[in-house]
Chains A and B, each alone.
Chain A
Amino acid sequence: MSTDTLVDFDEVLTRYEPVIGLETHVELGTASKMFCGCSTTFGAEPNTQTCPTCLGLPGSLPVANEMAIESTIRIGLALGCRIATWCRFARKNYFYPDIPKGFQTTQYDEPLCTAGHLDVEVDGETYRVEIERVHLEEDTGKNLHVGGATGRIHGADHSLIDYNRAGIPLVEIVTRPILGAGAKAPEVAKAYVTELREILLALGVSEVRMEQGNLRSDVNTSIAPIGSLEWGTRTETKNVNSLRSVERAVRFEMRRQAAVLDGGGTITQETRHFHEDSGTTSPGRSKEEATDYRYFPEPDLVPVAPDEEWVEKLRATLPELPAARRARLSDEWGITPTEMAWLVNAGAVELVSETVAAGASPADARKWWLGELARRANDAGTDLAELAITPAQVAQLIGLISAGTINDQLARQALDGVLAGEGDPAAVVQARGLAVMGESDELVAAVDAAIEGNPDVAEKVRGGKVQAIGALVGAVMKTTRGKADAATVKRMLEERLTAG
């Protein structure tokens, strides 16, 4: 569907109420796969991390990875879930070449964790997202479609399969329908995935690298006329692989569905695919018959029965969760929740915290990460964390400023050097000769030259227009190529022009 047939987002909200839901798959960061000892390292040559079990060879059997079970329980605990006292794996039977056994080993009606919640904040308002379930399953292999355009399945001549990913432990986190978010629905969806990602990082259960597919969200969206007692038909948008796309996918689906309904049409319950490039969704191939997965309890695995002692032992391993940590840091740094929200959105909480730990003041650390460094990341089109500078280096830079060795402008030049790989800020300052000039002969000469070169301005200052001195400071800074300390320059000018 081309964008021009979409309903304007604000207009959608005048007539419709959205309901959203998210199913998020997270690849756990275990060393070995869910049911065999193959490595999970990303990026290996195809089919080099496979064995009889994860290839589904005849006769092979699964044995569950204890760490994966424990990680799932810890995720459940972090989300305030109830942990099952007894549950089983199930077989989900269907034919697809990326599942090596003809079924996926997953959990069906007995998930490990149920009934949790996650509070997310959007524009100062808190939304409680109810978690329906957290369960453990195995990832599929990867299909590479050959012969068609851009590796897509449609028009492909044949496909090639790599089972390295098959059997990597995958946790599925399913929300209950999120109601009442209205215009904020797209942002709530994004905030939920963002916060979930923070929690997973804090727990250390996954690297959560979205570009490597460690975290993948399926986004369910429906809209219904305002005041309607029934929910609309929902679509499930797959393939949403960045935080920004989660928001875009919800926004697009709301606008598309509104256009369909406005035109008198009905929404088809279907799977849709998100296209990162255009920000649009398109329908998956509709199935001739409803899939019947024929779930039944996996006879090759015995039930998992976490007793209280085990669960409490795992609960004791939970780190301070991101929300609590943010509250504590806001307090320590003396900032408002809104200011903290900026840091979160910029992905800078950790960076600022580490910079403070390395000796910088919270205010300076925030100023540099949210200011100059955020600008640089934006220009380079990367995340803050991807910049080639460490929090320790930022702290050193700030230290150099506080000591008066450099000023802000010189610091920016020092930054160029650090980012170019020239070493720590101190080394760059040294090598590039960036230190602030003292009250040297050179500076005295520059000040005198500025007065001589701008007699009108000098006259104004002498006549009492003190603010005009800025132009003279600027002139000195220019001749010294920013190496002078502006305050020193101003004092020297004042001594010459207003004394006596």
Chain B
Amino acid sequence: MTTSDVTGMTVPELQAALQDGATAAGIAEAYLDRIAATDGTLGSYLHVDREAALERAAAVDASGNAGTGLAGIPVALKDVVVTAGVPTTSGSRILEGWKPPYDATVAARLKAADTVLLGKTNMDEFAMGSSTENSAYGVTRNPWDPERIPGGSSGGSSAAVAGGLAPWAIGTDTGGSIRQPAALTGLVGHKPTYGSVSRYGLIAFSSSLDQAGPMARTVLDAALLHEAIGGHDPLDSTSIDAPLPVLAECARRGADGDLSGLTIGVVRELGGEGHTDGYEQGVLDRFTEAVALLESLGAQVREVSCPAFDLALPAYYLIAPSEASSNLSRFDGVRYGLRVGDDGARDLDEVMALTREQGFGAEVKRRIILGTYALSSGYYEAYYGQAQKVRTLISRDFNAAFDAEGTGVDVLVSPTTPTVAFPLGSRVDDPVAMYAADLCTLPASLAGVPAISVPCGLSDGLPVGFQIMAPALADDRCYRVAAALEAAQDAARGSRFLDQLPSRVAEGAA
């Protein structure tokens, strides 16, 4: 089997290949070769340990488990996931060279499932960004067009999976950092219900919003990865102590394409009438077509108004920086990471301030300052307090939409992003424009409800994402509807979405 054969496979195909005699080492090697050949251009990985990956794969082969469950399947982790003994930087200079002494629960569960870690993927520093241009270690490019961003902050993961450098990857989503990069690179990306995937060992950005989730080539792959990492974790106090719904089975059933009995609400405030400012026509067209397709599968469709969603962006850009300003205080150059200016003359305060000044990038510093302001006495109520109340209003809008006594929809839908992938550098100096990339993903984040992005076509040759939001703990609905849409579009197209990727970064093109 050739390298491109393996690196184009879905996970069930890889599982079948392993059961048919392919080896985990062979599969890992195919991916590692492809990374070596093409990641110079894409810049999706921050750390790849070829030897360690091959050794691990060989061990799985030796155990005879390869092909059962996820054993032997390679995986990439966003560099925000703490991994024992493996450099973990969160995209920041301040953590350069740090080798954690412990595993995040997500990493531990994937390890326990005998997956093979390919490496750690690039990201916006501390997950603050929507383009992966804020990494201290260079930009990541979009495999669909290397002059464009792969989305962010999980842009390393999105580029790696779309570019065939990993079968799937873990991302984290605070305001949209799984769904937005998935949308912009033609992947499936799911933000689980807040509290359903452990945050233990995810380097915190905004604790009340952060969630890890799958980024994959197909809805079923995403569901399989989600099942591997999800479920209660006693190490995370906010982890929900309830069984994870069956997800992969829902994805399989959803692919049968019957959506009768399902009611879909189209959110007016996210690209609907009177709310199209900033949305590209191509995005709106693909979205409308996808809604029509779902209706043709038997779903009832109605428009739903969620007025508080208009305030999601300002609320988010107060809450997330506030929590971040506190979460990032531990990076003080005392216990780990960078220390600058310890020359015997400077006192600790000066050394801390220099370390943080030089260790953090511009966007991180901007958000720390903004968050410090929003929490400071005298301003707390007007900013942080007010934003938390807006958060309540947004949850109420969701509840009203999902409540059987109210609108009674099963899921809410919207475009995942207002635009397709934008050119590198086009928004770096304009934070407000950059923040607008998260417009559609923020409401679900603030309410803690699950949301998935699934491809729904191309606009100007670039992927457009379709977002499906569900009530808390009803992640299975996201997978069901996404699978139906994916199957119907694949059937109409006669191929998988990613097969359209016109010019995968050519092997050896680095």
- Which residues of A307-323 have CB atoms within 8 Å of chain B's CB atoms? none
Q: Is A97 an interface residue (CB 8 A)?
A: yes
Interface hit among B94-102, B280-288, B297-305: B94-102
- Interchain CB contact under 8 A, A103 and B332: no
A302 in complex: contacting residue of B102, B202, B237, B335, CB < 8 Å: B237
| Residue from B238, B335, B336 with most neighbouring chain A CB atoms (10 Å) | B335
- Interchain CB contact under 8 A, B200 and A60: yes
Q: Is B494 an interface residue (CB 8 A)?
A: no
B208 in complex: contacting residue of A57, A64, A161, A299, CB < 8 Å: A299
Which residues of B have CB within 8 Å of A93? Answer: 325-326, 329, 375
> Which residue in chain B gives the minimum CB-CB distance to A50?
B335
Q: Is B215 an interface residue (CB 8 A)?
A: no
Q: Is A255 an interface residue (CB 8 A)?
A: no
Per the bound structure, the CA–CA distance linking A294 and B352 in Å amounts to 19
| Residue from A97, A159, A294 with most neighbouring chain B CB atoms (10 Å) | A294
Q: Is A62 an interface residue (CB 8 A)?
A: yes
Per the bound structure, the CA–CA distance linking A74 and B66 in Å amounts to 54
Which residues of B have CB within 8 Å of A295? Answer: 375
- Interchain CB contact under 8 A, A57 and B372: no
| Residue from A55, A56, A58, A103 with most neighbouring chain B CB atoms (10 Å) | A58
Mask, B223-238, CB within 8 Å of A = 1, is 0000000000011111
Interface hit among B156-164, B376-384, B420-428, B468-476: B376-384
- Which residues of B187-244 have CB atoms within 8 Å of chain A's CB atoms? 199-204, 206-208, 234-238
> Which residue in chain A gives the minimum CB-CB distance to B322?
A296
Name the distance in Å between A146's Cβ and chain B's nearest Cβ: 13
Which residues of A have CB within 8 Å of B349? Answer: 95
Which residues of A have CB within 8 Å of B348? Answer: 97, 159
Per the bound structure, the CA–CA distance linking A55 and B330 in Å amounts to 9
Q: Is A91 an interface residue (CB 8 A)?
A: yes
- Interchain CB contact under 8 A, B201 and A60: yes
Which residues of A have CB within 8 Å of B203? Answer: 58-59
Per the bound structure, the CA–CA distance linking A56 and B329 in Å amounts to 10
Say whether chain A's binding surface is mostly helix, strand, loop, or mixed: loop
Name the distance in Å between A35's Cβ and chain B's nearest Cβ: 9
- Which residues of B308-338 have CB atoms within 8 Å of chain A's CB atoms? 322-323, 325-326, 328-332, 334-336
Per the bound structure, the CA–CA distance linking A271 and B439 in Å amounts to 48
Q: Is B82 an interface residue (CB 8 A)?
A: yes
B201 in complex: contacting residue of A59, A64, A299, A302, CB < 8 Å: A59
Mask, A85-103, CB within 8 Å of B = 1, is 0000001010101001111
> Which residue in chain B gives the minimum CB-CB distance to A300?
B207
Q: Is B104 an interface residue (CB 8 A)?
A: yes
Which residues of B have CB within 8 Å of A159? Answer: 348
- Interchain CB contact under 8 A, B326 and A103: yes
- Interchain CB contact under 8 A, B237 and A64: yes
Q: How many residues of B contact A (CB 8 A)?
A: 45
Q: Is A230 an interface residue (CB 8 A)?
A: no
Per the bound structure, the CA–CA distance linking A59 and B238 in Å amounts to 14
B330 in complex: contacting residue of A102, A161, A292, CB < 8 Å: A102
Which residues of B have CB within 8 Å of A100? Answer: 330, 334-335
Q: Is B122 an interface residue (CB 8 A)?
A: no
> Which residue in chain A gives the minimum CB-CB distance to B329?
A102
Which residues of B have CB within 8 Å of A161? Answer: 334
Which residues of B have CB within 8 Å of A97? Answer: 332, 334, 348
A59-B104, A97-B332 as given contacts; A294 in contact with B236, CB under 8 Å: no
Q: Is B90 an interface residue (CB 8 A)?
A: yes
Name the distance in Å between A88's Cβ and chain B's nearest Cβ: 12
Q: Is A63 an interface residue (CB 8 A)?
A: yes
- Interchain CB contact under 8 A, B207 and A299: yes
Which residues of A have CB within 8 Å of B330? Answer: 56, 58, 100-102
Q: Is B88 an interface residue (CB 8 A)?
A: yes
Which residues of A have CB within 8 Å of B100? Answer: 52, 57-59
A58 in complex: contacting residue of B88, B376, B380, CB < 8 Å: B88
Report how many A-B pairs have Cβ atoms within 8 Å.
102
Per the bound structure, the CA–CA distance linking A104 and B238 in Å amounts to 19
Name the distance in Å between B99's Cβ and chain A's nearest Cβ: 11
Q: Is A301 an interface residue (CB 8 A)?
A: yes
Per the bound structure, the CA–CA distance linking A56 and B331 in Å amounts to 9
Which residues of B have CB within 8 Å of A103? Answer: 326, 329
Which residues of B have CB within 8 Å of A300? Answer: 204, 207, 237-238
- Interchain CB contact under 8 A, B101 and A57: yes
Which residues of B have CB within 8 Å of A52? Answer: 100-102
- Which residues of A12-70 have CB atoms within 8 Å of chain B's CB atoms? 52, 55-64
Per the bound structure, the CA–CA distance linking A91 and B375 in Å amounts to 11
Which residues of B have CB within 8 Å of A301? Answer: 237-238
Per the bound structure, the CA–CA distance linking A474 and B9 in Å amounts to 109
Name the distance in Å between A55's Cβ and chain B's nearest Cβ: 6
> Which residue in chain B gives the minimum CB-CB distance to A298?
B207
Per the bound structure, the CA–CA distance linking A300 and B210 in Å amounts to 11
- Which residues of A392-425 have CB atoms within 8 Å of chain B's CB atoms? none
A52-B102, A59-B100 as given contacts; A292 in contact with B332, CB under 8 Å: no
Which residues of B have CB within 8 Å of A63? Answer: 234-237
Which residues of A have CB within 8 Å of B98? Answer: 58
- Interchain CB contact under 8 A, A61 and B235: yes
> Which residue in chain A gives the minimum CB-CB distance to B377?
A292
Per the bound structure, the CA–CA distance linking A63 and B238 in Å amounts to 9
Which residues of A have CB within 8 Å of B236? Answer: 61, 63
Per the bound structure, the CA–CA distance linking A61 and B201 in Å amounts to 8
Name the distance in Å between B47's Cβ and chain A's nearest Cβ: 15
Which residues of A have CB within 8 Å of B238? Answer: 299-302
Which residues of B have CB within 8 Å of A62? Answer: 237
A61 in complex: contacting residue of B199, B328, B332, CB < 8 Å: B199
> Which residue in chain B gives the minimum CB-CB distance to A52?
B102
Which residues of A have CB within 8 Å of B336? Answer: 57-58
Name the distance in Å between A132's Cβ and chain B's nearest Cβ: 20
Per the bound structure, the CA–CA distance linking A301 and B328 in Å amounts to 17
Per the bound structure, the CA–CA distance linking A183 and B269 in Å amounts to 70
Per the bound structure, the CA–CA distance linking A190 and B235 in Å amounts to 42
- Interchain CB contact under 8 A, A95 and B237: no
- Interchain CB contact under 8 A, B326 and A102: yes
B326 in complex: contacting residue of A55, A61, A292, A294, CB < 8 Å: A294
| Residue from A55, A59, A93, A299 with most neighbouring chain B CB atoms (10 Å) | A59
- Which residues of B349-372 have CB atoms within 8 Å of chain A's CB atoms? 349, 352, 372
- Interchain CB contact under 8 A, A294 and B82: no
- Interchain CB contact under 8 A, B380 and A296: yes
Which residues of B have CB within 8 Å of A294? Answer: 325-326, 372, 375-377, 380
Per the bound structure, the CA–CA distance linking A159 and B375 in Å amounts to 31
> Which residue in chain A gives the minimum CB-CB distance to B102?
A52
Which residues of A have CB within 8 Å of B325? Answer: 93, 294
- Interchain CB contact under 8 A, B332 and A95: yes
A61-B200, A296-B322, A300-B237 as given contacts; A102 in contact with B375, CB under 8 Å: no
- Interchain CB contact under 8 A, A292 and B200: no
Per the bound structure, the CA–CA distance linking A55 and B100 in Å amounts to 12
- Which residues of A98-139 have CB atoms within 8 Å of chain B's CB atoms? 100-103
Which residues of A have CB within 8 Å of B384? Answer: 296
Per the bound structure, the CA–CA distance linking A62 and B322 in Å amounts to 19
A55 in complex: contacting residue of B104, B328, B335, CB < 8 Å: B335
Which residues does B use to contact A, with CB under 8 Å? 81-82, 88, 90, 95, 98, 100-102, 104, 199-204, 206-208, 234-238, 322-323, 325-326, 328-332, 334-336, 348-349, 352, 372, 375-377, 380, 384
Which residues does A use to contact B, with CB under 8 Å? 52, 55-64, 91, 93, 95, 97, 100-103, 159, 161, 292, 294-296, 299-302
Could you name 12 residue pairs across A and B whose Cβ atoms are closer than 8 Å? A52-B100, A58-B331, A59-B204, A61-B199, A91-B326, A93-B326, A102-B326, A102-B331, A103-B329, A296-B322, A299-B207, A302-B237
12 additional contacts (CB under 8 A) given A59-B82, A60-B200, A95-B352? A55-B335, A58-B100, A61-B200, A63-B236, A97-B332, A100-B334, A102-B326, A102-B332, A103-B326, A294-B377, A294-B380, A299-B206
In order of increasing CB-CB distance, the 5 nearest A-B pairs are A102-B329, A294-B375, A299-B208, A299-B207, A59-B82
